[in-house]
A and B are shown apart, each in its own frame.
Chain A
């Protein structure tokens, strides 16, 4: 009987292990090996750190890298600042009747692909777009301005694309926050500010952290939105990786970049968990 159960357990575990090994571990090992190989002066592939040296020696690479990291943090923070009031409104302010409908409304834009959504933004913001058209018609602008291809538009686009991944965990954590707790805080002399910072945010921390991790990773690894809305000036690190693989056919350099990005995201998430005193297992569940 015991043996039987062990076999069953193994059979169900097998697909997961295969998936992990074939699709995640194996390619990464290959990438790791590639990142330490480079062509020497004679065109021979040899082992060495040249790909990593190249990254630190060329300011454009590591500046893009740092810029991407900082902007991803900014995007994560902005989604939190916008997402918290939205989630609070949906769970605590409106009556239960409308909660489902409102949650659906938040989900709705995500039924179309990211590409279509980003093109939607472009139709609104471009020089001949809807916003410019309206501003010209109302006389607020004398001649059309280009609203795309700058950092602000890119950040806005990134916030928009990842918003859902912040709001959903926040809704689920705030749902379990009893109204009594908020009332008790007011009853004991708290005001709106202390209720927010002493009760709501500490209570929602697991949701905030898990939302932030997902938003941060998605933003850091996003290619489409920075490229389309930010254009040539976006300077997003994923573009450098893309360029190495596709434009220069330098897979070894691309692998090194990919690994640096992986290390960066792991490091920042580890730091975030340390600072918020959460552990990964608790946040993910």
Chain B
């Protein structure tokens, strides 16, 4: 496999503070690769090192097999979409897009045709004479992308480019961006703190926390098989318990949680009796009033606290009996559960296979 970008043990220190801590990853040609992490975890710093605006304290960055050490930003075969887009306000749309070509010395008569082709490609034909302040948020977005893509970069670096858009437009641009990337086949490295952006668009996602990569995986693996408690909690919603392992039979452990629930969970890791564990469970893994004939199910009684209606992703907030721990339960909108009201008593249950356990270190 060919790698457009290869990062090995890259570390960045600002004085005593380590912003990026020995991060390694490779991006396969033509992939959409995302870095997902909370604010301040070092995403922008990592991206700026790849673009050449910061220098790693340690480690190497290779773009298409070439070591980037000592190569200045304007000589690197990558381009960046900045967090606030950084369109040049004193130039019109065409001049913005032509900026890179002109710096590169592309013959004058070739610049304009290329700019027009690019504008068509991003869905803005006829916009070449518009001023930047005449554009809407989504249109600015496209101009910024066109301005970078016209240079044919090995990797396009995007720093939360959808952050400034309203929700509706963001949903739309997500799909658009993914389509555009598939169409032109350029490798994208996309940074975001919004998990749905990362999951929807990416071939691979790296989850980052406090300067380190927690897990690099496909979106479905991140969701279904998180490798660390942080990933389990950060990617998608999860209910969490902590407890002690009572005994182990084959792959099944029996756990007593700090709220005195007895749960049986299938585990893959070797978790020994009497160790403390964190247990995570997706809201959609919780069944409301499961059929009594079902076996291998953990059941417990709860009181409905409130109903959070949100169309297809509606939720029930419930408390276990005699406890104020809040548990989130998915509420399918199939008319079957329309009778549920706050203060109702229910039984909920979940399959032994659905929980994910991590031994506490």
Question: Is B148 close to A, CB under 8 A?
Answer: yes
- 8 Å CB contact of B74 from A181, A189, A202, A203: A189
Tell me the bound Cα distance from A194 to B103 in angstroms.
8
Interface residues on A, range: 10 to 19
Given the complex, which residues of A lie within 8 Å of B88, measured CB to CB? 181, 184-185, 198-199
CB-nearest residue of chain A relative to B99? Answer: A188
- 8 Å CB contact of A190 from B51, B53, B83, B103: B103
Interface flags for B49-85 (1: CB within 8 Å of A; 0: not) read: 0010100000000000000000011100001101110
With contact pairs A185-B99, A198-B99 given, residues A191 and B74 touching in the complex (Cβ less than 8 Å)? yes
CB-nearest residue of chain A relative to B78? Answer: A187
Are the CB atoms of B151 and A189 closer together than 8 Å? yes
Are the CB atoms of B151 and A188 closer together than 8 Å? yes
Are the CB atoms of B86 and A180 closer together than 8 Å? yes
CB distance from B157 to the nearest CB of A (A): 9
Restricting to A180-228, which residues have a CB under 8 Å from any CB of B? 180-181, 183-191, 194, 198-199, 202-203, 205
Given the complex, which residues of A lie within 8 Å of B74, measured CB to CB? 186-191
CB-nearest residue of chain A relative to B84? Answer: A180
Question: Is A41 close to B, CB under 8 A?
Answer: no
Question: Is B30 close to A, CB under 8 A?
Answer: no
What is the interface of chain A mostly: helix, strand, loop, or mixed? helix
Are the CB atoms of A183 and B53 closer together than 8 Å? yes
Indicate the member of A186, A188, A202 with the most B CB atoms within 10 Å. Answer: A188
Question: Is A58 close to B, CB under 8 A?
Answer: no
Are the CB atoms of B151 and A203 closer together than 8 Å? no
Question: Is A178 close to B, CB under 8 A?
Answer: yes
CB distance from A202 to the nearest CB of B (A): 4
- 8 Å CB contact of B82 from A180, A190, A202: A180
Are the CB atoms of A184 and B90 closer together than 8 Å? no
Given the complex, which residues of A lie within 8 Å of B90, measured CB to CB? 202-203, 205
Question: Is B138 close to A, CB under 8 A?
Answer: no
Question: Is B89 close to A, CB under 8 A?
Answer: yes
User: What is the interface of chain B, defined by CB distance below 8 A to chain A?
Assistant: 51, 53, 72-74, 79-80, 82-84, 86, 88-91, 99-100, 103-104, 147-148, 151
User: What is the interface of chain A, defined by CB distance below 8 A to chain B?
Assistant: 178, 180-181, 183-191, 194, 198-199, 202-203, 205
Question: 10 tightest A-B contacts by CB?
Answer: A184-B86, A188-B100, A189-B103, A180-B86, A202-B90, A180-B82, A186-B73, A189-B74, A186-B74, A187-B80
**Given A181-B88, A186-B73, list of 13 further CB < 8 A pairs?**
A180-B82, A180-B83, A180-B84, A181-B86, A183-B53, A183-B82, A183-B86, A185-B99, A186-B72, A187-B79, A188-B79, A190-B74, A203-B90
Q: Can you list 29 A-B pairs with a CB-CB distance of less than 8 A?
A: A178-B84, A180-B82, A180-B83, A181-B86, A183-B53, A183-B80, A184-B82, A184-B86, A185-B88, A185-B99, A186-B72, A186-B73, A186-B74, A187-B73, A187-B79, A187-B148, A188-B74, A188-B100, A188-B103, A188-B147, A189-B151, A190-B74, A190-B99, A198-B99, A199-B88, A202-B90, A202-B91, A203-B89, A203-B90
